[in-house]
Amino acid sequence: MFFIFNNNYIEAFGELKYRLISFLILYYYNPDLKLMLEMDASNRVIAGILLQLYLDSEWYPITFFLKTIDLAEYNYKVYNKEMLAIIQLLS
């Protein structure tokens, strides 16, 4: 089976390109605003995102990271993996 790339797909792809390049994805850090860390840890990956509460009462991403877990870190308990994610994000 093959894919038919018609006008609907071309318009959707154009809209996707526009949204990706025209909107700010990561926001600038403002030392006067509140911060929040979100972490996630699994058997293979740790991830984190630093969010900031802007004046419109919305949380916006400032920075993020994603890291595959080393063989030595694979046997860590979940709470240790999450602490590792916090340290990695803040360093």
Question: How does DSSP assign 69-82, residue by residue?
Answer: PPTTTTTS-HHHHH
Q: Which pLDDT score, from 0 to 100, does residue 38 have?
A: 92
Closest CA to 65 of 31, 34, 91: 91
Residue 36 lies in a domain: yes
- Taking only the tens place, the pLDDT of each residue in 12-47 is 999 988 887 877 778 899 999 999 999 888 888 989
Residue 77 lies in a domain: yes
Instruction: Name the residue range of residue 39's domain.
Output: 26-90
CATH of the domain at 83: 3.10.20.370
The number of CA neighbours under 13 Å toward the Cβ of 38 is 9
In-domain check, residue 68: yes
What is the total count of domains within the chain? 1
pLDDT band, residue 1 (cuts 50/70/90): low
pTM (2 decimals)? 0.66
